[in-house]
Amino acid sequence: MFEELISRVSSRPKKKAPLLATSASGPLSGLRIVSSGILIAQPFAAYLAALWGAEVIHVERPGGDTYRYSPPFIERGGRRVNTWWAQERRNMLSIVIDLKKDKGKEVFLELLRHADIWMESSMPGTYQKLGITDEVVRKVNPEIVIVHISGFGHFGDPGYLGLPAYDAIAAAYSGWMSINGFPESPPYKPYPYTGDYLTALHALSAALAGYIYSKKAGEGITIDVAQFECIANVFGGLWIQTAELNDVPTRRGNKDIYFQPYDIFETKDGQYVFVGALGYDVFKRLCDAIQVDFEEWKDVHYAPGMHTDKGKQFDSILRSWIKQRTAEEVLRTLRNYNVPCFKVYSLRDALEDPHYKARRDFIEWVDETLGEKVRGWGIVPKFLMRNEPKIWRGSPRLGQDAVAILSKLLEYPESYIEKLLLENVVCCR
């Protein structure tokens, strides 16, 4: 039965399918991505592409993405939407497909037949159990780029494959937690779900690289994104430091391990500022600003001098100098000497800051669930182009685009669409 389904889908003539996101603009206009993961890492990778102009069809499971039902909510007029959903599903299309039903599998494979990229983040083996293997997908669409995202990857030691994973699991396994926090405290859990966002950036860049390859070679590829590896990939020289120097990094709080100052300091008025001074030129300007002799203290700028008693004394002098002044006084003085420094902002500070406003980082759009305007984060990076990216609509209601996808993209007759809806193969309207 399933073999017949595959044969039926793959034998249909391939033709240029019309775009549904006709109002989308940006450098990825014309690219079509099918996204079928939940929560953060994989959907965020697809969401970025949607912001930049790609048409992204987000396939939700029956009942919808977990994000839809998790707090916190914006509630207006008896309607409510999760704040993260409202922010991170904009410009995306939604359809619900029951992949446990053969007709649902057929609809899904039809979508993949028209896609350039498929991204998913299920437990390894999930799609194989459904019969939707990479080989099957390639029979339907030989040029498609397939991106699998999981905590531990789809190949490797059998003891790890398929282990349940979250952002924090990958952060723990990668070693990231072990080097974040203060020596006297437990390791820190990154927030807000930084490992998920690092994974999303890796996944999208790899997907676009795969897309370029597929257009050159005329064949698709599969990309295996393991979340722990994406986190470990941003450790810089720490891996060689550990492997070659046998110097295993440990938790040191906010201090840098190689030079000082590069730290957070409390001011007289109870605020916090960050001060960094890398290189002797900058360190000298800092010494001049706080009126200490550079020649006397220059040997404590780098490790190992910074970790000696004298190095700790310099840290104490700087902390005392900052503690005796308000944040405004500290920033004004250090900036007069061109020393990098800044107040530690709250998110409210950022919302009210003129530079954020000048760069249009906070914008308004109509949320599809609420039917009203909400205010949130805009589009980054800034593409300085004629048809620059824009928010052409808010995050979709559950299955909002089902009928449009089935009729306009897959060209199913109205009677068959009604049958799929009545049988709960797809949802909604």
Q: How far apart are CA 417 and CA 411, in angstroms?
A: 10
Angle at 413 between CA 411 and CA 406, to 5 degrees: 45
What distance separates the 2 farthest-apart alpha carbons in the chain?
85
The sign of the torsion formed by the CA atoms of 243, 248, 254, 257 equals negative
Instruction: Scan for tokens 């049988």, then name that residue.
Output: 423
How many CA atoms does the CB half-sphere of 11 hold within 13 Å? 6
Residues in the chain: 429
Question: Which segments of 208-294 are extended strands (E)?
Answer: 222-226, 262-266, 272-276
Per the CB < 8 A criterion, the answer to whether 367 and 361 are in contact is: no
How many CA atoms does the CB half-sphere of 75 hold within 13 Å? 6
Question: Which segments of 233-311 are extended strands (E)?
Answer: 262-266, 272-276
Which structure tokens are listed for 328?
């405004």
Instruction: Scan for tokens 């099957």, then name that residue.
Output: 136
Instruction: Scan for tokens 């110097």, then name that residue.
Output: 247
Per the CB < 8 A criterion, the answer to whether 91 and 391 are in contact is: yes
- Active site members: 196
Q: How far apart are CA 63 and CA 424, in angstroms?
A: 11
**Beta strand 32-35 pairing with 117-120:** parallel
Which structure tokens are listed for 290?
């706080």
Question: Which segments of 88-201 are extended strands (E)?
Answer: 92-97, 117-120, 145-150
Per the CB < 8 A criterion, the answer to whether 112 and 140 are in contact is: yes
Per the CB < 8 A criterion, the answer to whether 231 and 174 are in contact is: yes
3-class secondary structure per residue, 207-248? HHHHHHHHHHHCCCCEEEEEHHHHHHCCCCCHHHHHHHHCCC
Nearest to 153 by CA among 68, 233, 227: 227
Which amino acid is present at 141?
N
Look up residue 197 and give its DSSP letter. H
Residues 200-230: b if buried by 16+ CB within 10 A, e if exposed: bebbbebbbebbeebeeeeebbbbbbbbbbb
